[in-house]
């Protein structure tokens, strides 16, 4: 596995520190929004799957039983909670940075990432890595918080961005579709999930 040690130490810290509180903090938004999106999207995913930025494993309950799930996250404490709270086979779960995935090219049928490209330090590099490890003909699935196409909504996202960055490293105004396309992926579906177009599902293909 290739991970720059200093980079790794720097970016694992914030979620590591709040890992024990994360599920509690997220309860309202999880209950009213995220949970129903996970239930819609995750059960359709099959085969050999990599989940990037697994967090406390909130998607794990929704993968089909026969799915082979590998999960990575830069925070060991978030992964510990995923392991504690889920009885899926966790032997393939590792502490790793999205920008330095330690897997061979063309390994996975699906690469999944939910609410992660808004957090990672280098989203384009992370997206390039997702492309690299996804098989030709495979699919990358992102559900992400992003900059709205409405200037009115984007104004408020810009205004609150410094606060969400300071609290949770969340860059709520990133142009995620542009980042995904810049990484060389081809977007095949973009669908609004909630709060107009602030949360979107993006399916993309590596070739």
Ligand X SMILES: C[S@@+](CC[C@H](N)C(=O)[O-])C[C@H]1O[C@@H](n2cnc3c(N)ncnc32)[C@H](O)[C@@H]1O
Q: 10 Å Cβ neighbour count for 166?
A: 10
* 117 lies in the binding site for ligand X (CB under 6 A): no
**Residues sharing a CB contact under 8 Å with residue 196, sequence separation 6 or more, in sequence order:** 148, 150, 153
* 185 lies in the binding site for ligand X (CB under 6 A): no
Tell which positions 20-59 bind ligand X, by CB under 6 A: 53-55, 58
Query: Which member of 114, 148, 173, 204 binds ligand X (CB under 6 A)?
Result: 114
* 147 lies in the binding site for ligand X (CB under 6 A): no
Q: Which is nearer to ligand X, 75 or 148 (CB)?
A: 75
Both structure tokens of 191: 């669908």
Cα 158 versus chain centre, distance: 21
CA–CA gap between residue 7 and residue 24 (Å, rounded): 28
Do 137 and 143 contact (CB within 8 A), yes or no?
A: no
* 69 lies in the binding site for ligand X (CB under 6 A): no
143: β partners = 114, 201
* 90 lies in the binding site for ligand X (CB under 6 A): no
Q: Which is nearer to ligand X, 116 or 133 (CB)?
A: 116
* 144 lies in the binding site for ligand X (CB under 6 A): no
Query: Which member of 41, 45, 50, 97 binds ligand X (CB under 6 A)?
Result: 97
CA–CA gap between residue 17 and residue 26 (Å, rounded): 15
Q: Which is nearer to ligand X, 78 or 141 (CB)?
A: 78
Q: Which residues bind ligand X (CB under 6 A)?
A: 11, 15, 53-55, 58, 73-75, 78, 97-99, 114-116, 119-121
């Amino acid at each position: 596995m290739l991970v720059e040690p200093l980079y790794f130490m720097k970016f694992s810290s914030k979620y590591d520190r709040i890992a024990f509180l994360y599920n509690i903090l997220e309860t309202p938004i999880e209950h009213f929004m995220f949970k129903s999106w996970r239930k819609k999207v995750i059960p359709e995913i099959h085969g050999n799957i990599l989940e990037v930025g697994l967090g406390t494993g909130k998607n794990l309950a929704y993968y089909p039983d026969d799915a082979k799930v590998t999960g990575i996250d830069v925070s060991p404490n978030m992964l510990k909670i995923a392991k504690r709270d889920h009885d899926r086979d966790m032997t393939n779960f590792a502490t790793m940075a999205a920008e330095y995935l330690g897997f061979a090219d063309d390994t996975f049928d699906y690469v999944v990432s939910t609410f992660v490209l808004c957090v990672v330090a280098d989203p384009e590099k992370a997206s390039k890595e997702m492309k690299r490890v996804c098989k030709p003909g495979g699919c990358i699935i992102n559900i992400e918080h992003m900059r709205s196409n409405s200037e009115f909504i984007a104004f408020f996202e810009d205004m609150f961005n410094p606060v969400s960055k300071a609290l949770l490293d969340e860059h709520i105004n990133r142009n995620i579709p542009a980042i995904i396309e810049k990484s060389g992926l081809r977007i095949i579906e973009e669908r609004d999930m909630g709060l107009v177009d602030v949360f979107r599902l993006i399916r993309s293909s590596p070739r």
